Structure 1
């Protein structure tokens, strides 16, 4: 958000730009760099382009930049294939500055599209980003909150100075590294969580990441055992760590899987037993 240009500067042979929120570009937003004289295939789907107070450009957000050094010279190559759909702009239905040269195709497959990728509607992009953007969405400070709020309100401009930053409290907790940290799970050690293929240390780091990224306090945790045949659910107990919870609390067995999905203890499974954990 809030950048001079290159949001992005597309210069690859094959490009997919999907569900991006581009705000407050000064000169150019999604510029297709035809100045490099290469054939391109691209799909631009479900993106949102919002002008802000620093915007000075006369071009529409999606366009072909055909001359180096000239931010307004539009010229697409006839061999360039472009698929565009559901891109939202404040000043144009298509967001597309069409010079009549590019091959605007009717499906993403004709241009380029990764197998299995599903785009969300452009109308849902901002709400999703507002909830998830940033390094730590669950613990934003006042600067994070202000910058995101300015974008949502359309008042945020390109910054020319660094404001003061809030005082951040220090948090401490005890750190207990798991036993046999570099052993791959499933290799015979009795303290290993079976089935995941990760080392003890990797599982431990995954738990820490879940705590940081999702705000779910995984220490202490309660383990639940779900019988895959009957669907019966029983509690195995509480632990102050999670990497060995399946074996230490619920017993060992290769037919048991391990999950850190909060609240998933109520879901019965078939074809094998399951161990779930949640915050205590």
Structure 2
């Protein structure tokens, strides 16, 4: 919890290795909290992160240039479970905007704003001799399972919107704007099964978008299934698979969702963009300059893929994010509820949980 608003400057990722952690950015005074210069790594179970901004960036001092993600969920020796990223704002990554690796599962991204990764920037693949373009959106690795991407906005990612090799994806009610090459990529690696439900999403091409079906279904094992319904995008017809490039074969086409998300009923895609832009991301009532720009460009269908946080006089950095945003440093004391672990009103939530729910920035 936070009693001070403002920017947390980092040169190394913040890391969570212990379970039962909540980062409640909504408890800060307005305009909330932003992490600049690095990202967040989650390697434990039962983690909730809400109303947090993460701006990774291209400074020389920072995490390794091959892995500057805004959020990375991974533990080579463990199985992180039950992780929720809620009302967060992610920008200026130079690898993936978010990633899930190894045996992580039961991960939810909801009401989150992801936009403006750095494409022709500082990213160097492991083993490579120099930088290469790499401004990508979320990737969900082949050992992961049960991942949900709900009610979120993805803008100006060159590809991976998302790239999902997970078994058990629910992608529902998202807006994807101005992809570069590949949009939503459903794939398999080393024979991994891919069961995915992709419903109620809106795909809006922008300045950098390649003209192709927004959903790519790659080759995958015969037990894989993909369900598509009520997605909106260029080239659509009454056939929900008109938005897909199906390279797997007819066997993959599911007549009903192969996986669902408990307690979530996808809404119709009509009117989705306006509704999401009003509520998505960290502190939607007090957005920083980055979130304001992303929301405006998605609404007006302007802008494009960027390469740098700030202009530096070079032609490469003409496409930039407008510089590092500022946040006011305000203070406000918090008063925790009495008997925080009790449930005084009997609604199934502890007094502490009810107190947190009352913060609606």
Shorter chain as denominator, the TM-score bin is: 0.5 to 0.7
Residue 182 (structure 2) aligned to one of 17, 21, 28: 28
Judging changes above 3 Å, is the alpha-carbon distance between structure 1 residues 132 and 100 closer, same or farther for their aligned structure 2 residues? Answer: same
Over 3 Å counting, the alpha-carbon distance change for 1:205 and 1:14 in structure 2 is closer
Residue among 96, 112, 130 paired with 2:244: 96
**TM-score after normalising by structure 2:** 0.46
Number of the residue aligned with 1:5: 159
1:85 Cα offset (Å):
0.7
Q: CA-to-partner distance for each residue in 1:78-128, whole Å, 9 max, x for gaps?
A: 44322111111123432111347142545324x222354311111222122
SS in 2 for 1:43: strand
Report matched runs for 1:207-246 at 5 Å.
207=358, 209-210=359-360, 213=361
**Paired residues of 1:77 and 1:101 also in contact (CA < 8 A):** no
Q: 1:52 to 1:198 in 2, by over 3 A?
A: same
Q: For 1:117 and 1:166, how far apart are their aligned partners in 2?
A: 34
Counterpart-to-counterpart distance in 1, 2:221 and 2:351: 53
Aligned pair 1:51/2:198, yes or no?
A: no
Partners of 2:348 and 2:222 in 1: CA distance? 49
Matched, 1:150 2:297: yes
Report the equivalent of 1:84.
228
Cα 1:38/1:203, change in 2 over 3 Å? closer
Shift of 1:148: 0.7
Give the stretch that moved more between structures: 164-173 or 89-98. Answer: 164-173
Q: Is the 8 A contact 1:82 1:103 kept in 2?
A: no
RMSD: 2.8
Helix, strand or coil at the partner of 2:244:
coil
Q: Match for residue 185 of structure 1?
A: 342
Please identify which structure carries the higher strand content.
2
Q: Which residue of 2 aligns with 1:40?
A: 194
Partner of 2:287: 140
- For the 8 Å contact 1:16–1:44, the answer to whether it is kept is yes
**Do the aligned partners of residues 63 and 166 (structure 1) sit closer, same or farther apart at CA in structure 2, a change above 3 Å counting?**
closer
Whether the aligned pair in 1 keeps the contact of 2:173 and 2:199 (CA below 8 Å) is yes
Q: Which of 256, 259, 281 matches 1:108?
A: 256
Structure 2 residue aligned with 1:248: none
1:242-262 residue CA offsets vs partner (Å, 9 max, x unmatched): xxxxxxxxxxxxxxxxxxxxx
Q: Which has the larger radius of gyration?
A: 1
Q: Is the 8 A contact 2:162 2:183 kept in 1?
A: yes
Aligned to 2:346: 195
Distance (whole Å) between structure 1 residues aligned to residue 261 and residue 200 of structure 2: 15
> Do 1:185 and 1:194's aligned partners in 2 also have CA atoms closer than 8 Å?
no
The CA distance in 2 between the partners of 1:19 and 1:97, in whole Å, is: 20
Q: Can you list the C-alpha shifts for 1:39-80, whole angstroms capped at 9, x where unaligned?
A: 322211111112221224x54221123xxxxxxxxx454443
In the TM superposition, what is the alpha-carbon distance from 1:176 to its structure 2 partner? Answer: 3.8
Structure 1, unpaired ranges of 5+? 66-74, 187-192, 214-280
Alpha carbons 1:82, 1:102 under 8 Å: kept? no
Displacement, 1:169? 3.8
- Over 3 Å counting, the alpha-carbon distance change for 1:61 and 1:170 in structure 2 is same
Residue 227 of structure 2 contacts residue 255 of structure 2 at CA under 8 Å; is this kept in 1?
A: yes
Change (3 A) 1:172 1:118: same
Equivalent-residue separation in structure 1 for 2:173 and 2:349 (angstroms): 32
